[in-house]
Structure 1
Amino acid sequence: MHYENKKQFSTISTLIGAFLFLANIAFAELPRLEFIDRQKGTARLFVGGKPFVILGGELLNSSGSTASDMANKWENLKALNLNTVILAVPWEQIEKEEGKFDFSELKLIIKQAGKNKMKLVLLWFGSWKNGNSGYAPYWVMTNPDRFPRMENKDGKFIPYLSNLSEEVLKHDKRAFLALMNFIKMEDSKGEVVVMVQIENEIGLLGDSRDRSKNADKVFSENVPSELVKSLKEKKDRLLPEIVSAWEKNGRREVGSWQELFGQKNFLADEMFMAWHYAKFVNALASEGKKIHNIPMYVNAWTIGMDNPPAGVYPSGGPNYRMLDVWQSGAPDVDILAIDNYQKEYSKKINQFFNRGNPIFIPEACALWEGDNLSAGAKAFYTIGEFGAIGFSPFAIDHKTYSKVHPLAKAYEVLNNLMPEISKARAGENMRGFMKENQDVDAFDIGDIKVRVHYNFKSYKGFGLVVRLNENEFLVAATGVDVHFESLNPDKKGLVFGLTQEGYYKNGKWITTRYLGGDEAHGGVAGLHLPPVYLKGDADESQISIVKINLYQVRERP
């Protein structure tokens, strides 16, 4: 190629360089998940090319429907120190008339979020929300011949769109892709919208599976070979309930759902529903990512600790019982997230942990059951113990969460510690803790055992520990006494060095005071957090950040 002069060459080179630079920046800055250990499922969310942990809050379902309603909320949301707001985008609102899409309210809300330096996670309320189809458009729900419903065991239509219907899938997907196109146009670099949820607490309520004629026919057919192959590959990592049922039936590879998995606790029914829900959702995820490739997830209505039958909770949803089926049927979905309102909060997270699935809690804290103070504790525990990509209480715009709620202090401290949290590995050099029913917790961080004694009831005792290097530990906690022991058989003696209370500023540690004496168990036994003279002087809004140096030495024989 011949250029007339150097100036022309320089101009073209500059344009090409600028184009490549902008293209690379746009690609690099799109939100993404990066796995630390894919088999376990530990991962980090990156936003703007940097690690990002969601310190979020999910709005009441109708709160994000208009920009005028949202305009009154940002001040309090910022006062709570959130970095992310989770809000719904209902299908019925953006496609009131078939084929005509209106994103005018969402456009304004995205601008509001950007102005307030807040990220958004958008919830696609499409064909299903909490099992039913209450957010599908009027023109869909009034035409059951075109958009078929499920049926229950009594032969009655129920207000749930069929997950076997190609027509339902076609129109739900068309609307979802219109949403993804809009997000791409409005926020092309992913500077505001960082993730999208597809549907909401999906699954069938009132029965274990769809009993329509079409569903009965498909249920009697062979289990898809795609699922059988995937389950075979999982081998010992499969849920024991599925393994046991499959082995009882000869571990057959060809046969109907009931022939392969049996009906103990409606297992075949729920696996059937889960597979077809997962395939439906994956069709949206795979096509949506071709338009705008940001992380996508589905959320689960968590099964209660009393293990009710499928249908009491949404049968076929992405709960822990169906995790293997969902991971097989929806590979383009990045996270199966837990809506964790359970009193035994930690046990529910552990059901999803180390299953090849990143931990994210988009909904927690059941206000309707009086759980109005646990959000800060659960945020610390979830992020510290599981390396979660984020935590979010539901109904963050309810009057309960005023700017003086303890969550504000918890998020303030977590924000301050974020550089260290982002570098740490949960279960290795970072651990989280929270009082539930226990009085004491004990865990290892390398060759150091940490014992936590809780000083208060309920969720007033919580925190996390990060081992910064061989001798230096970072502790952020409240309502606890923290003790350290050496596990090194050759160096049982533990010597305490400087103990500093403080915070980070611009990446540098600032010491506010040096702890010892009554505020630190004499500086030889551990930490008393918060470091107050009397336990009665403490409250849940006092979360101390402390650096402590521990040296292991050989004891005299």
Structure 2
Amino acid sequence: MENTFLRDAQGKPFMPIGLQAHNSSTGTALIKKAVRAVKLYGGNCLETPVYWYRIEPEMDCYDFSMVKDVIEEAREAGLHLILLWFGTSKNGHPNYVPEYIKLQPDIYRLAQGPDGAPVPSLSVHCRETLERDKKAFGRFMEFLKEADGESRTVLAVQIENEMGYANTDMDYSAEARRDYEKPVPGALAGVELPDSGRELIGEGKETSAWKRQFGRHAHEAFSAWYHARYIDEVASAGKAAYTLPCFTNVMVGEQGYEEPGLCYNAGAAVGRVLDIWKAGAPHLDFIGPDIYNQNRREYTRICRAYAREDNPLFIPESPIRGAANAMNALLAAADYGATGICCFGAESALDEEGNLLEECRDMALTMRILSAMSPLLIRYRNTGCVHAFAEDEFETSHYLKLPEYHVTAKYLRNAAMYTGYTTDTHSEAGKKKLQVRGRALLVQTGPNEFYLCGAGVGLDFYRRPDPADESCYSHLHSRQSGQLNFLSVEEGHFENGEWVTELVRNGDETNFSHYVLDGQLIRIRLNPNTGMSAE
């Protein structure tokens, strides 16, 4: 996909920032609540499922009224959509397949566990199921092209949902075993999985080709390949009808003791087998991890696994509430070039009166920051110019070294701070703005130009000593004047990609740090000559 970003109707890069509706909301009044939640989060996109069993209630009889309605709902609200094809798999289970599939297990087979008993997942070795899914998905994409091909309200389609086998590491049916005895496909030549232990397999021991190449991960590798091939055929059928970006999401493997079928769905595109999926599903534009892990080490480990040159990081699902995801999402955008971030459970963010729940305000604030900065996040992705500040427990400040500047971020709930007249720090509302957990994005757009957006953060910029300067100490000291080190500080926003100034800060509003509160966005132009000698 060109430039790694999704595209709007004008072909411009678009960064989806939004929420995902609950599983059963599409086609009901609940979708209005989901739309309202996205707007209150400052988002631009709603993810919502469409159901195979509703689209094809009887074999070869199609009804797209539900799809038409949700597209119209999004257009009216000024939002984009990402539609989720709940087909063969929803979290590994066939909940959303048509009744004719469920009623004929002899034709549309379930996978089998090691004991030969069926597990609650359809087998990806069953050609009959695949052909039905392909046909229905192709018809769905035909409808999207007809109904939305010009408007492009729908940015992309997610195929299946957290696909993989539940309660087994592979399908042990006779059909699957025959596939397992075949040679490993040539497309996987040279692919190795970490910690496979294959070198410990004794020479001459009779094993399958999968076992010889992938060791203890052989069954998972086998399942991953056939799931990837299955979903690739579905994607190919859809794109033959309408060349809209397609992706799939993942129940990540970076959890528990990381065993397939027990800790996550076997065959899923987890980090361990991502190379297999990339080889097996070339018609997918990207593969997105659902990141519910809140521990920062685990979160960033997952981001590293999926932020690849051949796979831009897109997060289809993450928690809708809590400070942890509110902090981590900024790291995903700044450090790993995330091209889109969404949270699951839109309707659960609102109370009965349609107001944001208190526990959701942290994440909503971060979403507003991401949305405000999205033009710059798109332009400066992976350039080294985007930086995140996210207040850790017990942290009072954060230091960032840039080629020309020292930057110190102070988290304002731990610092005495004057913000001029624009924020009444004596009022309850003003105090609240200072007491949030500090977070911000900083983007450098020129040698001395920066954009800062965030909450509860104040930045100090000090120009670093010039390499050839013999009196660098006195110059550095003189550069620490808050009154002299900037040319202008402007509050504003982006409109159609262009900067719009709302207020020029000066005097009292610039005496101290360059601060941002409650999602403010400011443009800072520093004075490169502060502290220079008179010579």
Classify the TM-score, shorter chain. 0.7 to 0.9
Pick from 279, 285, 290 the counterpart of residue 334 of structure 1: 285
1:364-513 mapped onto 2 (5 Å cutoff): 364-365=318-319, 371-374=321-324, 376-400=326-350, 403-404=355-356, 405-436=361-392, 439=395, 441-454=398-411, 460-484=437-461, 486=464, 489-490=467-468, 495=479, 496-498=485-487, 500-504=489-493, 506=495, 507-510=498-501, 512-513=503-504
Per the alignment, residue 34 of structure 1 pairs with: 2
- Quote the residue 2:14 is aligned against: 52
Task: Say if 2:18 and 2:43, in contact at 8 Å, map to a contact too.
Answer: yes
CA-atom RMSD in angstroms: 3.1
Read off the aligned partner of 1:460 and give its amino acid letter: R
Measured in 2, the distance between the counterparts of 1:456 and 1:300 equals 37
Q: Which of 137, 145, 159 lines up with 1:198 in the alignment?
A: 159
1:45 partner amino acid = L
The answer for unaligned runs of 5 or more in structure 1 is 1-32, 36-42, 232-237, 531-540
In the alignment, what sits opposite 2:244? Answer: 294
The answer to whether structure 1 residue 310 and structure 2 residue 288 are counterparts is no
Corresponding residue for residue 39 of structure 1 = none
Alignment partner, residue 215 of structure 1: 176
Cα distance change on mapping 1:337 and 1:249 into 2, 3 Å: farther
For 2:130 and 2:392, how far apart are their aligned partners in 1?
A: 42
2: CA distance between counterparts of 1:241 and 1:516?
A: 60
SS of residue matched to 2:528: strand
- What letter matches 1:319 in structure 2? V
Alignment of 1:260 with 2:213, yes or no, is: yes
Which of 218, 221, 224 aligns to 1:274? It is: 224
Q: Secondary structure at the match of 1:135?
A: coil
State the partner residue of 1:360.
314
Task: Return the alpha-carbon distance in structure 2 between the equivalents of residues 412 and 542 of structure 1.
Answer: 6
Q: Deviations over 1:265-321 (max 9, x none)?
A: xx1111111000000011111221121111111111122444431112112111111
- Quote how far apart the aligned CAs of 1:468 are: 1.3
Change (3 A) 1:209 1:484: farther
Normalising by structure 1, we get a TM-score of 0.79
Q: How does 1:71-150 map to 2 (within 5 A)?
A: 71-150=32-111
Structure 2 SS opposite 1:99: coil
Aligned length: 485
- Paired with 1:60 and 1:205, the residues of 2 have a C-alpha distance of 21
State TM-score, norm by structure 2. Answer: 0.82
Structure 1: how far apart are the matches of 2:389 and 2:307?
16
Per-residue CA deviation, residues 373-412 of structure 1 (Å, 9 max, x unaligned), is 5555444333233332211110012144855435554444
Structure 2 residue aligned with 1:156 = 117
SS of 1:363's equivalent in the other structure is coil
Q: CA deviation at 1:143?
A: 1.1
Aligned residues of 1:377 and 1:463 also touching (Cα < 8 A): no
Structure 2 counterpart of 1:320: 271
Per the TM alignment, residue 454 of structure 1 is displaced from its structure 2 partner at its CA by 4.3
Contact between 2:411 and 2:438, CA under 8 Å: does it hold in 1? yes
The farther-off stretch of 476-485 and 181-190 is 476-485
Contact kept? 1:279, 1:329, Cα under 8 Å = yes
How does 1:215-234 map onto structure 2 within 5 Å? 215-228=176-189, 231=191
Amino acid at match of 2:215: G
Q: 1:45 to 1:451 in 2, by over 3 A?
A: farther
Q: Which residue does 2:424 correspond to in 1?
A: none
Counterpart residue number, 1:30: none
Distance in 2 separating the partners of 1:34 and 1:221: 36
Deviations 1:455-484 (A, max 9, x none): 569982221111110111111122334344
Distance 1:503 1:284, change over 3 A: same
Report if the CA contact (8 A) 2:443-2:451 is conserved: yes
Change (3 A) 1:225 1:548: same
- Mapped to 1, the partners of 2:528 and 2:226 lie a distance apart of 57
8 Å Cα contact 1:477-1:545 kept in structure 2 = no
Quote the residue 1:20 is aligned against.
none
Closer, same or farther: CA 451–268 of 1 in aligned 2, 3 Å: farther
8 Å CA contact 2:307, 2:337 repeated in 1: no
Cα distance between partner residues in 2 of 1:376 and 1:489: 39
Measured at CA, do residues 515 and 377 of structure 1 come closer, stay the same or move farther in structure 2, by a change above 3 Å? farther
- Give deviations 1:407-442, integer Å, cap 9, x for gaps: 554444444433333322335111223235573555
2:24 aligned partner, one-letter code = S
Report the 3-state secondary structure (helix = DSSP H, G, I; strand = E; otherwise coil) of the residue aligned with 1:131: coil
Given that residues 316 and 341 in structure 2 are in contact (C-alpha distance below 8 angstroms), is that contact kept between their aligned partners in structure 1? yes
| 8 A contact 2:137–2:234 mirrored in 1 | yes
CA offset digits 1:322-377 (Å, max 9, x no partner): 11000000011011101010012233212222352111111001x6xxx4355554
